[in-house]
């Protein structure tokens, strides 16, 4: 069914593709306790429930990049088609079309994993904003210090010299 161990957590199955947090069809099928073929069959039978923001098919380049990250072999067997990537809403919708007790239970865990991931991302964004504010604040203060240091480092202006000789005055 999936390349992942049977006891994988939904959090470990979530990856980033095209700027979205997604779960690949094989991992979602493993979490829901169904064959990948059955999951994809239900997706094809219910296209209205899986619009583009809920699910999309990976490109060949995206799949190769992910395969290299998860270290899958390129040996015989494997997939005939590029995998689907399910966003949070697509994962929930998949549980509704599968309608098995395990799919319903695991959909709750999947939602919790996506929510936790979203909270972590928001906390990182908040931290980045605070760092930017501190950087701007201290840049202004350091500018004053650097200006003072530059003034100290530059030679003092020379006093005006008296003219030697006949000036005509």
pLDDT in tens, 29-88: 888 888 999 999 999 999 988 888 899 999 999 988 888 776 555 544 567 889 999 988
Q: Could you tell me the strand order of the sheet in which 55-57 lies?
A: 14-17, 20-24, 84-86, 55-57
Tens of pLDDT, residue by residue over 138-167, are: 666 666 766 676 677 666 677 777 777 776
Q: Domain holding 71: CATH number?
A: 3.10.260
Count structural domains, the chain.
Answer: 1
Tokens (6 digits) for 33: 């306790």
Tokens for 114? 């996506």
Is residue 135 domain-resident? no
Phi-psi region of 5 (alpha: psi -120 to 50; beta: other; left: phi over 0): beta
Q: Note whether residue 150 is domain-resident.
A: no
């Amino acid at each position: 069914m999936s390349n992942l161990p049977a006891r994988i957590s939904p959090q470990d199955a979530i990856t980033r593709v095209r700027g979205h947090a997604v779960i690949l069809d094989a991992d979602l099928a493993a979490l829901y306790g169904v064959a990948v073929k059955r999951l994809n069959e239900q997706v094809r039978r219910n296209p209205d429930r899986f619009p583009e923001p809920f699910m999309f098919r990976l490109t060949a380049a995206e799949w190769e990049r992910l395969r290299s990250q998860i270290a899958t072999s390129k040996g015989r067997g494997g997939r005939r088609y590029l995998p689907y990537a399910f966003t949070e809403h697509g994962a929930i919708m998949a549980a509704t079309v599968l309608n098995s007790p395990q799919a319903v239970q695991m959909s709750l865990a999947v939602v919790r994993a996506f929510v936790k991931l979203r909270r972590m991302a928001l906390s990182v964004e908040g931290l980045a904003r605070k760092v930017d504010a501190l950087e701007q604040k201290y840049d202004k203060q350091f500018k004053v210090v650097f200006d003072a240091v530059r003034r100290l480092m530059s030679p003092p202006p020379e006093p005006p010299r008296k003219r030697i000789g006949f000036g005509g005055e």
